[in-house]
Amino acid sequence: MANPKTTDTALWVPAAEAEPRPTTVPGRLVQVWTRQFPYENLTYLWPEAAGVEPQVGLRVVVPLRNRRVTGYVVDPQATPLDRPGVRYKPVDLVLDPQPLCPPTLVRLLRWAADYYLQPLGAYLHLAIPPGLHALHRAEVRITPAGLQAAAEWAAGARQRRLPLWARVLLYVAEARKATLPKVRRAVGSRSLHAAVQYLRARGWVEVRERLHQRAKVPKTTVVHLVRPPADGERVPGAYRDILTYLTQAGRDVLLEELAEQVRDAESSGADPQVAQRRLRDRLRRMVARGWIQVYVQYHPRPIVWDAPVGSEAPVVLNDEQRAVLESLQKYVEAGTFHAGVLYGVTGSGKTEVYLRLIEAAVRRGKTALVLMPEIALIPAVTQRFRRQFGDLLAVLHSEMTPAQRTSEWWRIRTGEARIVLGARSAIFAPLEDVGVLVVDEEQDGSYRQDELPVYNAREVALARARFENAVALLVTATPSVETYAHARQGTYGLYRLTQRAVPGAVLPEVVLVDMRDAYARGSHPFFSPLLMTSLRETLDRGETAIVLINRRGYAPFVQCRACGHVLTCSQCSIHMVLHKKAGVLRCHYCDATEPVPKRCPVCERPYLIATGIGTERVQALLEREFPDVRVGVLDRDTLSRPRELFRLLGDFYEGRVQVLVGTQMVAKGHHFPRVTLVGVLEADTSTGLPDFRSHERLFQLITQVVGRSGRADRPGRAIIQTYRPEHYAIRYACQHDYEGFFREELAYRQRFQYPPFTSIVLLTVVHPEHALARQYAQTLTELLTERSIPQTQVHGPVQPLLWRLQGKYRYHVLIRTTDRRAVRQALRDVLGRLPFRRDFLRVQVDPYELV
């Protein structure tokens, strides 16, 4: 596989110092997406001199207002705008001679943009690592005339208050050169545009534009001949040697090779550094004339992971596992698309099966991709993958540094790494010839990204498998309702693993505690006597326990006992959560924090109390109850400190921490050998704001956390505390009865016409003004209703529970349909002619939640 090239941005000279002049000269037009206007593609003139054909996915630098930004070509054949006398600015620089993403990936990104009704550019941007996102920086430099002017000003300036431009001049004169943000900080002014223009007009400063690609990855530089000088074009002697050499070579030439050549031609012996600088200066001018282009190619090395790659005795598959593997392997061998659900209880050896499937694919020269829902799970799995695949493995997730991600991305792109393990966005890894795509814990909601660009990695994996004629394997112990419905209808193959891989291991015993009774009998409000006794016994035996409370922080409410006021976020329609250790109130929806007030903001009396429990409070209560025991907390707050997180997981694994309190993160996939007790607090209220998926989330949460208890030779126990023991999700989860739950849940979904019986598109209007939010949602509802889309209902405007978020008002328009295509068509039309700005509208195809 070829190693793609990208422009050496260090040698770039902007087309003109001043604003490029717009033109009406006819030429090819392209549409470009930029992050600055994510919902609006801009039209530019294609620079024919670049010698590159416009293609979807090419990165380009374009002028935008008074600066330059990087964008992506999203339409290589744009039609002229329907406005008389419109002028187009030319694209300044084409960053890559070929799109960075391979063609099959570009095709997938186009599919996603079309399916989720999101701008294509946003997916193109997402698909390359942040280390390759070009950063633009303007640098202000002083000129000799500027130095003189500054000296005169400084002499007489002491007494007077200086105008902004003079402060800028004095600062730049002293610093000689500085980036614009630096100048901004130094003079303490946000808007420098007028001042800098003034200084430029007088010739006192120059402004140079610089483009950086942050990632430090080993690279080589090659020089490419775009076109030889035209006949009659004047070529200074200094460039002639270079051009001759490039023409004669008839290929791209390494910079070192060229340097040697030129050094030989000119008398050698000069200081090599001086020679190199001179060569780079020449190249820069030749780039500006459009004769050559200078590219870099990255040569990444595998990341050395800290932990040793131990060896483990090969696992022998049982009959059931072998049968599943063989049937899946047939599809890989035939190279045909297949979607399968690998469904098996925790510990039934699903990982072993898909690892072998991947091995089979790689043996046939294919590549593979494995997605995990939680970044915290990846390190442990990495060891196992590394043992099997060595340097063929690449890891991609957002907790890695930009340099690491870029390096791994290039290893995948060049074909050096053939197996990718990662979180959600790794679904867009630049693999080619994909044979197997695994989505582990397919039911997990974190595969869904709700910000721009919206996608669900599970659905994208299925689409990618279809494009690549690959096997998509959805792996789960508790399939999502939609996935299982597809499997039962035969749309997906269903592969079941019914035995726990370790012989003799049994499912944990589950006890349901009705907290209404417990509370009536005067027990502790948060812990039942049974849970307390069991905890004590477990710890006395030297075993460990997990306590699930699906809420981080100390207490979910702070309420005034005098007037009943509950402290809410000033930006959102939701209560603030007390984080006692950090000493703040925090909004879990916008992350705003406030100091904890001493008095009620309404009645001003000092009777504020914290009610309810979160992870922090449970930890405190348990530490008081069991003074000799170490209690750790695993939640999103811990996740934000990766080092601490890995230490905690290690400590719990080794038994140095005996009780792990956590949110749903403790339920997911971790394998802790000593855990024999799981306690669930407030099971019924633990899945967030209610919506059509809350029963499913509840069932999955309980099933998963119960599965953490007891492994190998030690029997496990789970104690579920709830105020609603009759709830079917809780009841079936306690009986380990997925089928029972599925039947009842499916009936509920059918009754209320939710997925899988319909598809949903959720439109959310978001606006700082309440009346406008409602009005736009009303307009949107009318526009959609008057189209009378077949087999489709439009409900709206609806005020959601979370009617205010981050200071903006929200209204929903909910579309339910059995004809997705018709809805997409109608929506594309409506979105193209929206009577208000597209920025005020969030479009979510197949939303995970409706809150």
Site residues for Zn ion per CB under 5 A: 560, 562-563, 565, 569, 571-572, 587, 589-590, 592, 600, 602-603
Nearer to Zn ion among residue 608 and residue 659 (C-beta)? 608
E strands, 286-412, in order:
292-298, 338-344, 367-371, 393-396
Q: 258-262: long-range contacts (C-beta < 8 A, 24 or more apart)?
A: 258/223
- Burial (CB count within 10 angstroms: exposed 0-12, middle 13-18, buried 19+), residue 625: middle
CB of residue 221 to Zn ion, shortest distance in Å = 48
CB of residue 600 to Zn ion, shortest distance in Å = 3
Q: What one-character DSSP code corresponds to residue 479? A: -
CB of residue 585 to Zn ion, shortest distance in Å = 10
Nearer to Zn ion among residue 571 and residue 778 (C-beta)? 571
Let me know the angle formed at the C-alpha of 130 by 124 and 134, rounded to the nearest 5 degrees: 80
Nearer to Zn ion among residue 458 and residue 588 (C-beta)? 588
Output the CA–CA distances (angstroms, integers) from residue 137 to 69, 134, 178, 816, in the order listed: 10, 10, 10, 47
CB of residue 353 to Zn ion, shortest distance in Å = 44
- Bridge partners (DSSP) of residue 529 are none
Let me know the angle formed at the C-alpha of 477 by 636 and 715, rounded to the nearest 5 degrees: 90
Nearer to Zn ion among residue 494 and residue 592 (C-beta)? 592
CB of residue 574 to Zn ion, shortest distance in Å = 6
Nearer to Zn ion among residue 586 and residue 731 (C-beta)? 586
Strand, helix or coil for residue 572: coil
623 φ, ψ to 5°?
-65, -35
Residue partners of 151: CB distance under 8 A and separation at least 6: 173
DSSP H/E element including 459:
helix 457-468
Task: Give the strands of the sheet with 177-179, arranged side by side.
Answer: 177-179, 134-142, 205-213
Output the CA–CA distances (angstroms, integers) from residue 710 to 343, 654, 672, in the order listed: 20, 15, 9
Nearer to Zn ion among residue 400 and residue 600 (C-beta)? 600
Nearer to Zn ion among residue 610 and residue 720 (C-beta)? 610
> How far is the C-alpha of 815 from the C-alpha of 832, rounded, in Å?
18
CB of residue 577 to Zn ion, shortest distance in Å = 10
DSSP H/E element including 363:
helix 350-363
CB of residue 399 to Zn ion, shortest distance in Å = 25
Nearer to Zn ion among residue 135 and residue 603 (C-beta)? 603
Evaluate whether 668 touches 704 at the Cβ level (below 8 Å).
yes
Q: What per-residue string of b and e applies to 327-336 under the rule 16 or more CB within 10 Å gives b? A: ebbebbeeee
CB of residue 563 to Zn ion, shortest distance in Å = 3
CB of residue 595 to Zn ion, shortest distance in Å = 15
Nearer to Zn ion among residue 603 and residue 801 (C-beta)? 603
CB of residue 849 to Zn ion, shortest distance in Å = 17
Closest CA to 682 of 548, 797, 812, 530: 548
CB of residue 769 to Zn ion, shortest distance in Å = 18
CB of residue 84 to Zn ion, shortest distance in Å = 47
The two tokens of residue 515 are 């907290």
Nearer to Zn ion among residue 804 and residue 816 (C-beta)? 804
The two tokens of residue 34 are 């930029």
The two tokens of residue 284 are 């820069």
Closest CA to 538 of 403, 355, 373, 674: 674
Nearer to Zn ion among residue 438 and residue 600 (C-beta)? 600
Nearer to Zn ion among residue 110 and residue 565 (C-beta)? 565
Nearer to Zn ion among residue 333 and residue 604 (C-beta)? 604
* Residue bearing tokens 């598109």: 761
Nearer to Zn ion among residue 510 and residue 577 (C-beta)? 577
CB of residue 603 to Zn ion, shortest distance in Å = 3
Nearer to Zn ion among residue 318 and residue 571 (C-beta)? 571
Instruction: Mark out the alpha helices in 469-528 (DSSP H runs).
Output: 481-489, 515-520
Nearer to Zn ion among residue 450 and residue 651 (C-beta)? 450
Output the CA–CA distances (angstroms, integers) from residue 414 to 297, 329, 390, 432, 455, in the order listed: 10, 26, 17, 10, 26
DSSP 781-798: HHHHHTT--TTEEEEEEE
Nearer to Zn ion among residue 195 and residue 600 (C-beta)? 600
Evaluate whether 355 touches 368 at the Cβ level (below 8 Å).
no
Type of residue found at 15: A
E strands, 459-563, in order:
471-476, 493-497, 509-514, 544-548, 557-560
CB of residue 98 to Zn ion, shortest distance in Å = 44
DSSP 133-148: SEEEEEEEEE-HHHHH
CB of residue 571 to Zn ion, shortest distance in Å = 4
Q: What one-character DSSP code corresponds to residue 185? A: H
> How far is the C-alpha of 73 from the C-alpha of 60, rounded, in Å?
7
- Bridge partners (DSSP) of residue 632 are 660
CB of residue 578 to Zn ion, shortest distance in Å = 14
Evaluate whether 407 touches 447 at the Cβ level (below 8 Å).
no
E strands, 299-453, in order:
338-344, 367-371, 393-396, 419-422, 434-440, 448-449
CB of residue 770 to Zn ion, shortest distance in Å = 16
Residue partners of 703: CB distance under 8 A and separation at least 6: 477, 478, 733, 736, 738
Nearer to Zn ion among residue 258 and residue 572 (C-beta)? 572
CB of residue 505 to Zn ion, shortest distance in Å = 45
